[in-house]
A and B are shown apart, each in its own frame.
Chain A
Amino acid sequence: MEFLENARFFMPMLLEGALVTIQIAFLSLALSTVLGLTLALMRLSSLRILYVPAVTIITVLRGVPILVQLMYIYFVFPEIGIELSAFSAGWIGLGVAFSAYHAENFRAAILSVDRGQYEAALSIGMGKVRLMSRIILPQAVRIALPPYGNIAIMMLKDSSLASTITVAELTRSGQLIASSTFMNMTVFTLVALIYLAMSLPVSALNSWLERRFSAK
């Protein structure tokens, strides 16, 4: 009973944090998807000027901890004249960091589409752009979806890393409340439950998409 009473008291503050978490997760997912697809297509290109930078970027993003990348954007970038708010640094940093994982997923999905599909599309006179957008990507989407859902949930949870650069999202709200009330058990249980509650719709949405794309 005491837990419920405390919960009712902390909930509004925690939900405010959760709202920020949702915003960060949503913005960084959108950014990382676009960047990831771009990197994947660059990496698959036969032009050195495209795939060498893509491989380099992916290697760096995967090899440096996301936490360090966030610190870099928030604390180092201002020294070279790029000043971002904590919130912007958070979602942009996460979006860039995760684009490498999306890129590798998209690349694998595109490569798994049968060679014959390329040849059939070429044989009716399609150019590269139409071949990709009309024939290959629609088929790759179906293959990429299950891992995409995994990455999306990872991003939702890893948005908590933004707490380290002072973004007032869910984890940071929890930390602030806990450190002033010492009710660690209550606060962090609530935080965990809210993360879980947010991840469920993402899973559901993804399985719905998977069903829709595999119906044919």
Chain B
Amino acid sequence: MIKVKEVSKSFGEVEVLKSMSFTVARGEVVCLIGPSGSGKSTMLRCVNGLEYYDTGFISVDDMKVDVRSKEIGSVRAEVGMVFQRFNLFPHMTALENIIEGPTQVRKRPKPEARDEAMALLHKVGLSHLANSYPSQLSGGQQQRVAIARALAMKPRAMLFDEPTSALDPETVGDVLSVVEELAREGMTMLVVTHEMGFASEVANRVLFLDHGEILEQGPPSEILKNPQNERTRDFLQRVLHPGEKVL
């Protein structure tokens, strides 16, 4: 479904992605973990064509992801993206946020899009807040609307960029359970996350990135419980036991 082949990218002198290759199969959930600056968010943004990559090749469902191509808009429409800071449109209600893509990009009739949007709001548990503006919603609620907005495009795959990093701890669970539900329904997902509990429960595979390279990958039971690479061990130690001193 998602193919990343020998993708490299530099910001000036700094090489943020070093010939990275991986695939995500249909219905698979892959988590990207790693320290900040490891290139995991950049990698994710390249998959959605929000960021250029210098060399290599990325495709989603055999559509090439190329920022310079004229078809990049239609490729992006097929790939749902959820951002760390939600990025809901503040001048539109929750419902209007969700139908914006279907009506404006897909040219669907409004009543139809509205019905589907209500169904999606119900799915994320927010049908009672359809007419609220983003500023009236909590972070967790905004993020669930953002997920519904991405799903309204009926995407072939979903990308999540640290979807819970900007949330209050008590609302993290609501968002993660929506993502878990999607995983159960067989949505193909690529998730950048710091939630190791989520990764170990939902991911089929975990990729550990550091300095723009995949250092280790495998099922979460292996990577998270029994990492082989020293830097992976170091990182997990710090994330899972933040209070303890690392020798």
Which A residues form the contact surface with B (CB < 8 A)? 114, 116-117, 119-127, 130, 134-135, 138-139, 142, 216
Q: A126-B104, A134-B104, A139-B91 are in contact. Are A216 and B150 (CB under 8 A)?
A: no
> Of A114, A116, A126, A216, which is within 8 A of B133 by CB?
A216
Q: A119-B50, A122-B50, A216-B135 are in contact. Are A127 and B73 (CB under 8 A)?
A: yes
- The docked-state distance in angstroms from the alpha carbon of A138 to that of B80 is 24
- The docked-state distance in angstroms from the alpha carbon of A142 to that of B50 is 27
B43 to chain A, nearest CB (A): 15
A110 to chain B, nearest CB (A): 14
B220 to chain A, nearest CB (A): 27
Which of B10-18, B20-28, B81-89, B238-246 lies on the face that meets chain A?
B81-89
Q: Is the CB of A123 within 8 A of B81?
A: yes
B56-95 at interface with A (beta carbon < 8 Å): 73-74, 76-81, 83, 85, 87-91
Is B101 among interface residues, defined by CB-CB distance under 8 A? yes
- The docked-state distance in angstroms from the alpha carbon of A16 to that of B128 is 57
Q: Is the CB of A135 within 8 A of B85?
A: no
> Of B77, B83, B91, B150, which is within 8 A of A119 by CB?
B83
Q: Is the CB of B76 within 8 A of A125?
A: yes
Q: Is the CB of A116 within 8 A of B74?
A: no
Tell me if A's interface is mostly helix, strand, loop or mixed.
Answer: helix
What are 14 A-B contacts defined by CB distance under 8 Å? A117-B89, A120-B87, A123-B76, A123-B81, A124-B77, A124-B149, A125-B73, A125-B74, A125-B76, A125-B78, A126-B105, A134-B104, A142-B91, A216-B133
| B-side contacts of A122, CB under 8 Å | 49-50, 73, 76
Is B8 among interface residues, defined by CB-CB distance under 8 A? no
| A-side contacts of B49, CB under 8 Å | 122
Q: Is the CB of A135 within 8 A of B73?
A: no
B148 to chain A, nearest CB (A): 12
Q: Is the CB of B91 within 8 A of A216?
A: yes
Is B48 among interface residues, defined by CB-CB distance under 8 A? yes
- The docked-state distance in angstroms from the alpha carbon of A126 to that of B74 is 8
Is B153 among interface residues, defined by CB-CB distance under 8 A? yes
Q: A122-B76, A124-B149, A138-B91 are in contact. Are A116 and B100 (CB under 8 A)?
A: no
> Of A114, A123, A125, which is within 8 A of B50 by CB?
A123
| B-side contacts of A216, CB under 8 Å | 90-91, 133, 135
| A-side contacts of B77, CB under 8 Å | 124-125
Q: Is the CB of A116 within 8 A of B153?
A: no
| A-side contacts of B135, CB under 8 Å | 216
- The docked-state distance in angstroms from the alpha carbon of A138 to that of B100 is 14
Given contacts A124-B105, A139-B91, 20 further A-B contacts (CB under 8 A): A114-B87, A116-B87, A117-B87, A117-B89, A119-B81, A119-B83, A119-B87, A120-B81, A120-B88, A123-B48, A123-B76, A125-B76, A125-B153, A127-B73, A134-B100, A134-B104, A139-B90, A216-B90, A216-B91, A216-B133
| B-side contacts of A125, CB under 8 Å | 73-74, 76-78, 101, 105, 153
A182 to chain B, nearest CB (A): 57
A116 to chain B, nearest CB (A): 4
Q: A126-B73, A127-B73, A216-B133 are in contact. Are A120 and B105 (CB under 8 A)?
A: no
> CB-nearest residue of chain A relative to B75?
A125
- The docked-state distance in angstroms from the alpha carbon of A117 to that of B49 is 15
> What are the 5 closest A-B residue pairs judged by CB atoms, nearest first?
A125-B77, A124-B101, A120-B87, A123-B81, A116-B87
| B-side contacts of A135, CB under 8 Å | 89
A129 to chain B, nearest CB (A): 11
